[in-house]
Structure 1
Amino acid sequence: MNTLKKAKGFKKSRPGLYLSIGTSLFGIVGVAKQIQLARRETDTLKLLDAVVSGAAVLTNAAVLIRELRRLDIDDVLADD
């Protein structure tokens, strides 16, 4: 199996999903810093940008969690 196929398979695996969820949630740290900076500068546009970025990160994490749940359901069905 070549390296590219392994990498694509890792993305859909349980450890790959956990890693993706972790990196998505780690993005919240950057968003929190953006929000603090925007509030300190009282810049409404930067604050709006940070809020939208935060919503995108949370949505991405929710999609990954849904994929993880689907993977768990498939594993249970595969054991039968």
Structure 2
Amino acid sequence: MYLSISTTAFGALSVVKQARKARTESDTLLLLDAVVSAAAIATGLAILVRELKRIGDDDVLFG
């Protein structure tokens, strides 16, 4: 689970760099790719949060 979180965070940093490069170069296609990648990361993060909540509901010690 923690590996997924760190991978998602690293992916978010890559998307930010890609978006900055796209804006600097005025590359619409690269910017669109960054937006789609950001949406995929947001979806993955939402799934991770849901799984963490499920773990928390099932585990007495987790809270």
TM-score by length of 2: 0.86
For 2:20, the equivalent position in structure 1 comes to 36
For 1:19, the equivalent position in structure 2 comes to 3
Letter in 1 for 2:40: A
Matched, 1:61 2:45: yes
> How far apart are the structure 1 equivalents of 2:15 and 2:46?
17
Shift, 1:18, TM fit? 2.0
Shift, 1:44, TM fit? 0.8
- Rg larger in structure: 1
For 2:31, the equivalent position in structure 1 comes to 47
Letter in 2 for 1:36: R
Aligned residues: 60
Shift, 1:45, TM fit? 1.1
Q: Could you tell me whether the CA contact under 8 Å between 1:25 and 1:61 is conserved in 2?
A: no
Q: Deviations over 1:1-35 (max 9, x none)?
A: xxxxxxxxxxxxxxxx1221121121111001100
